[in-house]
Chain A
Amino acid sequence: MATAEIDVPAEALPTLAQANDDISRPIYPPSWRYYLLLAICGIGILAGGTAWAIQIRNGIGMTGINNPVSWGVYIVTFVFWVGIAHSGTLISAVLYLVRSGWRTTINRAAEAMTIFAVMTAGLFPLIHLGRVWYFYYLVPYPSTRLLWPNFRSPLVWDMFAIGTYFTISLVFWYLGLIPDLAVLRDKFTGIKKKLYGAFSLGWTGSVRDWAHYRRLYLYLAGIATPLVLSVHSVVSWDFAMGIVPGWHSTIFAPYFVAGAIFSGIAMVITIMIPLRWAFGLEKYITKYHFDNMSKLLLFTSLIVGYAYAIEFFLAWWVNDPIEKESFGWRATGYYALPFWIMVFCNVVVPMSLWFKRTRNNLAALFVVTIFVNIGMWYERFVIIVTSLAHEFEPGGWGIYVPTTTEILIMIGSFAWFFFWFLLFSRTLPVISIAEVKEHLAHEHEHGH
C-alpha cells in the first residue's frame, strides 16, 4: 500500500483487449472469499430482518424513541443512506458535464452504489412507520376514502424527490451499461449470452448507436444534475421547515447537499480500495483517481466544517438565548461525545488530505474514509436527536438511547447494502469497459 504502489507506469498500460478481459474477469466463477463475504452479509441481513420482524410483532415500543425524541436511529440511518446515494449522480452526471476525465473508472461503481443506497434508505421510512402495512398512506394516490397526503408536508416532497432520483439514477446507470453488456454478450455463451444480449438491446457498436447513446447520455446527465441539489435539499427541509432550534436553518439545504457528497465520495473510496485489490484492477484505478477523489473529499469537508462553524458563530452573534442554549448543549450536554466524534471525523481527520502523502497512500486514505463514514452517521444523529431532545421548554426536554433492535436493524442495513453490491460486482462490470477503452485508446495514441 505504499505510495508507489498505486501509480501505474506508462509501459504498464493495458491494451484494449486486455481491458475487456481484466474488467469482466470478476464475472467468472469467484473464489471462496467472495462467498465468505456474501455469507457475512447474509448473517447481517438475517439479524436486521429478525429484529424488524420482532418489532413488527411487538410494536414500535421496541425502539428507544419517545416523547420528545420521536425520530431516532431509523431516520438517522435513512438520511445517512440518502446521502451515500449522492456520489453516484455527482460522479456520473456532474463530473461528466464538467469534463472531468478522472470519473471514468469509478462512475459505474458509484452509480451502482447510488441505486443500492436508495434501496436501503427506502426501507427506513417503512421500518420507522411501525405498522408497515399502512405504508400506502405515504403514496399520493386518489384514494376513494379521500385520505390525501398533506402536500405541504416535506415528507411527501421526499417521496417525490427520492422517487425521481431513484428512477433517473437507474435509467442513467442502465444506459451506461448497454455497451458493456454487449461486450459480455460477445464473451459468453448459453443462457448468459441470451440474458446479456437481451439487456444490451441489440447494441452493435455502430457509429449510429454511439451517436444516439452519447446524445441520450448527455441529456440524462443534464436532467440528473439538478437532482444532486434537489434530493438532499428536500431531505434537509424535513428538518428545516420545523421551527425546532438546531433544525430551522436556511443553510440546511446546501449544507446537506455538501454533506451528502462528502459521505458519498467517502463511501466510494471505502468500497473502491478493496474492490481494486480483490479484482486486480490496479491498472485502471490509479493514483490519479484517488488523488482527485481525495481532493473532492477535502473540499466537501471544508464546506461541512464551514456550516458547523457558522451555526455556532451565528447563534452567538445574534445572541438569541434559545439558539445559544441549543448549540451550547449540543457541544457540552448529554450528547457531547457524538458531537465531538462528528467534528473529529468530518473536520479534523480529513485535514490530513491536504498532504499528498496521505492522498497517495491507500491504507491511510481507507482509514480516513472510514472515519468520514462514521462521522457522517454521527452528524445526522447529532442534528436529529440533540435538536429534538432539547427544544424550547425545559419541562419537555428528554433523552433518547437507541435499543438493540434499532442497532441491529442499522447494522442489517449495511449488510443489505453490501450484499447488493457484491451481487452487482459478480454480475456486471464494476468499471465502464467502454469508457476505459476510449481513455486507453487516447493514451496509447498521445502517450501517457
Chain B
Amino acid sequence: MTEEHSTLSADTSVVSAERALSTVHGRISGLAGLLWLAAFAIGVAGFAVALGSDPQRAWMNVWGNFLFWTALAQAGVIFAAVLVVAKGHWGKPFRRIAEATGAFLPFSLIIFLLMYFGAPEIFPWMKPGFEGHINRDWLTHDGVFIRNGILLAILFGASWYFLRLSLRPDAPMIAQKQTGWRKAMLERLSRGWRGDEEEAERARSILAWFAPVLIGLWVIIFSLLSFDLTMSLMPSFMSMIWGALYFVGGWLSMLAIVAFLAHRYKEHYSLEDVWGKWEFHDLGKLIFAFVIFWSYIWFSQFLPIWYGNIGRETQFFELRVDNGFKPLLWAQMTLIFFIPFALLLWRKPKMRSRHLAIVGVVILLGFWLERWMQVVPSVWKGEGPPLGWQELTIALGFLGLFGLSYSLYQSVMAKIPVQEALIIGERSRGP
C-alpha cells in the first residue's frame, strides 16, 4: 500500500510525499504547549472572577470571542471545500493549514452550550419590560440554544466528516511516522483502504456533492446564528446583509491566520518552494479581494441605513459612535480595510511572506474587534467602552484554547497534503 502511495504521489503531487511527511511533528513542543495552557488557564480564571463581580461583562466577552473564533475555525474547513468545488490547485500548500482550524469546532460547540447560562445577561428580549418587535415564536431562551445547538452540531459533524474524507489519503503514510494514540487514530482513519485508484474515485465522487452541501450549510447556519446571537441584541433592528457580514468576515479572518501560519511554517521547515513567493502572491490577492468585498458589504449596510435615517436602523451605528465607542469603530475599519488595502495594493508586499503575515495579524486584530463591537455596544450600559483585565484575560483564554486545539491537530497531521492528487485531481484536469 505504501509503495502505491509513493508512486502515485511522485507522479501527480506538487510536493513529494517525503517532503510533506517531513512536516509531521508527532508532538506539541513543550514551551508552546505550556504557553497555550497558561493562556487558557488565565482565561478561565479571568472569566470566573469576572462572573462573580460583573456577570454581564464576563458573558459579553465570551459572546464576542465565541463569534470570532467559531467563524474563523469553520471557515478553515470551508476553504478546503471551496478548493474542491472550484478545483483551486493554487491553494494546495495552504489547504492543510486552513483545515486544521477545524480542530477548534468541538470546543466551540461546548462553549455555545455553556452560553445558555449567560443568555439572560445578554439578550435584551429576555429582560422584563422589553419593548420592541421580536418574534416570540422564534426567539426564546431554550429555542435559541436548542435550535442553534442542533444546527451547529450538524455543521460541525459535517465538517469533521469532510475532514475525514480529505485526510484519509494521507493517513496510512503519516501513521508510519507516528506512535501512540496518534498512530492509532491515523490507522483508524485509514481502515479498510481500498487502494489508491478506488479511494481516489470514491473520495472524488463523495466530495463532488458533499463539498457544495457543506458550503450551503455553512452559509445558512451561520446566517441564522448571527441573527439570533447578535442581531437580536438591538430591539427591532434588522439588516438583511447581517448573515453575510458574519460568515464572510470569518472567511477573511481565516485567510489572515493562514497567511500568518504559512509564513511561520515556511521559516520553520525551510520549504521555500512550497510556500514560495508565487503562492503567497495568490493568497495575498485573495485576501486583498476579500478585504474589498467585506468592506463593500459593510458599506452596503451602512449606506441605506444612513440614507434612510430610520431610528430602529440607525441605532446600530448610534450605539457604536456614542459612549466613547467611536475610536474603536474607526480602529476596526482601519485594521480591516484601510491598512490592508493600502499595503496589499502593491504586488511585492503580497509576495513577501513576512509582510503578508503582518497584514494577516492586522486583519485578525480588526476582526476580533469587529466581533466584539457587534456585541458590546449593544449590551453595555456603563460609561465608556469596557476595556480592562476582563477583556484581556477572556480573549487570552480563547486564544489559548484555539492554540491548543490547533497544535494538537497539527501534531498529528502533515502541514501540506501528502496525497492531494487523490482528492482534487491533477492540475491538468482543472483550468
User: Chain A residues in contact with chain B, CB under 8 A?
Assistant: 99-102, 226, 229, 233, 237, 240-243, 248-254, 292, 302, 306-307, 310-311, 314, 316-320, 323, 446
A100–B300 CB distance below 8 A: no
B431–A101 CB distance below 8 A: yes
Residue among A253, A302, A317 making CB contact with B300, cutoff 8 Å? A253
Residues of A within 8 A of B293 (CB): 229
Given known contacts A101-B431, A254-B297, A254-B300, A226 and B238 CB-to-CB distance under 8 angstroms: no
Residues of B within 8 A of A242 (CB): 308
Report the Cα distance A311→B138, complex, angstroms.
16
Residue among B138, B236, B297, B431 making CB contact with A102, cutoff 8 Å? B431
Residue among B236, B240, B242, B303 making CB contact with A237, cutoff 8 Å? B303
Given known contacts A100-B431, A316-B135, A310 and B300 CB-to-CB distance under 8 angstroms: no
Most buried by B among A250, A253, A307: A250
Closest Cβ of chain A to B125, distance in Å, is 11
Is B328 an interface residue when CB atoms closer than 8 A count as contact? no
A237–B134 CB distance below 8 A: no
Closest Cβ of chain A to B169, distance in Å, is 24
Is B346 an interface residue when CB atoms closer than 8 A count as contact? no
Is B120 an interface residue when CB atoms closer than 8 A count as contact? no
B244–A254 CB distance below 8 A: yes
Report the Cα distance A359→B336, complex, angstroms.
39
Task: Show 13 residue pairs from A and B whose CB-CB distance is below 8 angstroms, ordered by the A residue.
Answer: A100-B431, A229-B296, A237-B303, A241-B307, A248-B304, A250-B240, A250-B304, A253-B303, A302-B216, A306-B223, A314-B227, A317-B238, A318-B135
Residue of B at shortest CB range from A99?
Answer: B431
B240–A306 CB distance below 8 A: no
Report the Cα distance A190→B303, complex, angstroms.
56
A317–B310 CB distance below 8 A: no
Report the Cα distance A237→B431, complex, angstroms.
36
Interface residues of B, count at CB 8 A: 34
Is B292 an interface residue when CB atoms closer than 8 A count as contact? yes
Near A by CB (< 8 A), chain B positions 334-357 give none
Residues of A within 8 A of B304 (CB): 237, 240-241, 248-250, 252
Report the Cα distance A72→B241, complex, angstroms.
27
Report the Cα distance A302→B217, complex, angstroms.
12
Closest Cβ of chain B to A401, distance in Å, is 30
Residues of A within 8 A of B308 (CB): 241-243, 248
Mark contacts of B46-65 with chain A using CB atoms, 8 A cut-off: 1 yes-contact digit, 0 otherwise: 00000000000000000000
Report the Cα distance A100→B242, complex, angstroms.
30
B133–A310 CB distance below 8 A: no
Is B243 an interface residue when CB atoms closer than 8 A count as contact? yes
Q: Which 4 interchain pairs have the tightest Cβ spacing?
A: A251-B240, A253-B300, A318-B238, A250-B301
Residues of A within 8 A of B223 (CB): 306, 310
Closest Cβ of chain B to A352, distance in Å, is 15
Report the Cα distance A292→B431, complex, angstroms.
10
Residue of A at shortest CB range from B245?
Answer: A250
Chain A at the B interface: SS class: helix
Mark contacts of B287-303 with chain A using CB atoms, 8 A cut-off: 1 yes-contact digit, 0 otherwise: 00000110011001101
B300–A319 CB distance below 8 A: no
Residues of A within 8 A of B243 (CB): 310
Is B239 an interface residue when CB atoms closer than 8 A count as contact? yes
A250–B135 CB distance below 8 A: no
Closest Cβ of chain A to B132, distance in Å, is 9
Residues of A within 8 A of B296 (CB): 229, 233, 253-254
Is B305 an interface residue when CB atoms closer than 8 A count as contact? yes
Report the Cα distance A102→B87, complex, angstroms.
13
A320–B241 CB distance below 8 A: no
Is B365 an interface residue when CB atoms closer than 8 A count as contact? no
Report the Cα distance A248→B303, complex, angstroms.
11
Closest Cβ of chain B to A67, distance in Å, is 22
Mark contacts of B167-203 with chain A using CB atoms, 8 A cut-off: 1 yes-contact digit, 0 otherwise: 0000000000000000000000000000000000000
Is B219 an interface residue when CB atoms closer than 8 A count as contact? yes
Residues of B within 8 A of A100 (CB): 431
Residue of B at shortest CB range from A152?
Answer: B307
Residues of B within 8 A of A316 (CB): 135, 138
Residue among B133, B220, B297, B431 making CB contact with A318, cutoff 8 Å? B133
Residue of A at shortest CB range from B219?
Answer: A306
B300–A252 CB distance below 8 A: yes
Given known contacts A241-B304, A249-B240, A310-B223, A319 and B297 CB-to-CB distance under 8 angstroms: no
Near A by CB (< 8 A), chain B positions 409-431 give 428, 431
Closest Cβ of chain A to B428, distance in Å, is 8
A310–B240 CB distance below 8 A: yes
Report the Cα distance A320→B220, complex, angstroms.
22
Residue of A at shortest CB range from B292?
Answer: A226
Closest Cβ of chain B to A440, distance in Å, is 16
Residue among A102, A241, A250, A320 making CB contact with B239, cutoff 8 Å? A250
A251–B236 CB distance below 8 A: no
Residues of B within 8 A of A320 (CB): 133, 236, 238
- Given A100-B431, A310-B240, 12 additional A-B pairs, CB 8 A: A226-B292, A229-B296, A237-B304, A241-B307, A250-B240, A302-B216, A317-B139, A317-B227, A318-B134, A318-B135, A318-B237, A319-B133
Residues of A within 8 A of B139 (CB): 317
Most buried by B among A248, A249, A318: A318
Report the Cα distance A237→B139, complex, angstroms.
31
Residues of B within 8 A of A240 (CB): 303-304
Most buried by A among B138, B139, B305, B308: B308
Report the Cα distance A142→B304, complex, angstroms.
29
Report the Cα distance A317→B243, complex, angstroms.
13
Closest Cβ of chain B to A18, distance in Å, is 23
Closest Cβ of chain A to B20, distance in Å, is 25
Report the Cα distance A251→B248, complex, angstroms.
14
Most buried by A among B133, B220, B237, B240: B240
Residues of B within 8 A of A229 (CB): 293, 296
Report the Cα distance A233→B305, complex, angstroms.
15
Report the Cα distance A242→B244, complex, angstroms.
22
B241–A254 CB distance below 8 A: yes
Given known contacts A240-B304, A243-B308, A323 and B238 CB-to-CB distance under 8 angstroms: yes
Closest Cβ of chain A to B337, distance in Å, is 14
Closest Cβ of chain A to B239, distance in Å, is 5
Residue of A at shortest CB range from B134?
Answer: A319
Near A by CB (< 8 A), chain B positions 121-150 give 133-136, 138-139
